[in-house]
Amino acid sequence: MMHFALPLHATRDELIDLAAGWAAAHELHVSIERFFPDYLVAAVSRGADLRAAIAEFEPVRRICLREAPFDIVASNHVQHVAMNRESFQIVLEPLSEDGLRATALASKMGDEEKLRWWVGIVRESAAGMHRGAWAVEPGGRRKFVSDHWYTTGAYELAAAGVPMLASHGTAHFEFDAPG
């Protein structure tokens, strides 16, 4: 299995728009998952309004995309990915009172050509994003992370004082002004 991940900060709306754009441009199948209060998964019909489907299914935490139709009988999120190999995943992090957690555009695939195809799609989309951020530990130590990406929406939230949290742990990220 080969793995690809693009770590980033982005708003839910930006990630939904990204997934909807990819689905439309490449005629992809889409599934949406919610993890709380119970795990549920649904397939979104091709050409359907992804934003409307998510609004009806909230709280959605993950969008998956793939070329083949989704098998949506999984009883948990691990089983869903195992049953629907060659899917690309986007975790939707909510904006909370604590801030916005980092997420990733990610996949693990056995088909190298398919993964390369996805990497190409992500690279095209990343052209509209900003690269590089400062990871800051609670004690103040800073380290530049060149492969962390952020969107305009995430930058605007950070500039307004919303903390940009690491995906796990207590560190946070700071962004330089896009240039």
Cα separation, 77 vs 82, whole angstroms: 9
Are the C-beta atoms of 100 and 11 separated by less than 8 Å? Answer: yes
30: Cβ–Cβ under 8 A, 6 or more apart, which residues? 19, 23, 43, 44, 46, 50, 53, 63, 64, 65, 70
| Closest to 62 (Cα-Cα) out of 82, 42, 83 | 42
Q: pTM of this prediction?
A: 0.94
Give tens-digit pLDDT for 131-148.
999 999 999 999 999 999
Give tens-digit pLDDT for 10-68.
999 999 999 999 999 999 999 999 999 999 999 999 999 999 999 999 999 999 999 99
